[in-house]
Amino acid sequence: MTIPGKIRVLIADDHSVVIEGLKAVLKKTAPDIVVSGEARDGRRALDLARRSPADVYVFDISMPVLNGLEAMSLLLRSDSDARVIMLSMHDDRPTVEKALRAGAKGYLVKESAAGEIARALRVVHRGKRYLSPSITDLLESSAPSCPRSGGKVRDWSLLTASEIAIVRYIAEGLGNKQIAVRLSISCSTVQVHRRNIARKLDIHKQTDLVRYAIREGLSKP
């Protein structure tokens, strides 16, 4: 059931202290956010999501029965618009990239999650991506990206989730009309996204973008 004016959140983590801590922070600092469900494993999270969908989901990567990535993958199969934030103790590049490629709209490091949770939920609820500042710094500092003029780098973490999806489809050889159908958006919106991608990455040829997507692991396996 939708609660007018509230962002409904489902939190899944196998440590009850984490859930209770986040709930306490949200109750104290975020009157616009309500925890509508909680689970201790991925299977329970999916059961709750089917019975009472939330606006945003917060999944711990390491959970029993189904881990956070597995639960997110199954959730996105049934609801491609689901917005999931990954919560983890891990802050290494491979784990972060795996989560983002799998469809996560946000990534929170547990040690700083209490101070970021409200903002992250609001940002992701608006359709944007949220990464813990330490994760953004990690991706910017360790990205094996190509140099551009002025010594800057092409960093795909600057892209939104929709833009990353479009890069993947381009790498698969899909045209604007096919991408529009896949994402249920208009061709003009696809064109706007493509212009934004070109500007953010400073890549203006499709062949160069495809090579970049393959090199950075953004193309579909």
Same-domain check for residues 178 and 196: yes
Average pLDDT for 168-173? 84
For residue 1, being part of any structural domain is answered with no
Q: Six-digit token pair at 53?
A: 């969908």
Kind and range of the H or E run holding 98: helix 93-102
Q: What range defines the domain where residue 195 resides?
A: 146-215
Same-domain check for residues 37 and 130: yes
Domain of residue 158, CATH code? 1.10.10.10
Helix ranges restricted to H, 131-216 = 133-142, 161-171, 176-183, 187-201, 206-215
pTM more than 0.75: no
Same-domain check for residues 34 and 110: yes
How many domains, in total, are found in the chain? 2
Same-domain check for residues 13 and 113: yes
pLDDT at 144: 43
pLDDT tens by residue, 173-200: 888 999 999 888 999 999 999 999 998 8
Kind and range of the H or E run holding 117: helix 110-125
Same-domain check for residues 62 and 123: yes
For residue 2, being part of any structural domain is answered with no
Residue 114 · residue 108 · CB < 8 Å:
no
Same-domain check for residues 44 and 124: yes
Same-domain check for residues 91 and 38: yes
Same-domain check for residues 22 and 73: yes
Confidence of residue 32 (pLDDT cuts 50, 70, 90): very high
For residue 78, being part of any structural domain is answered with yes
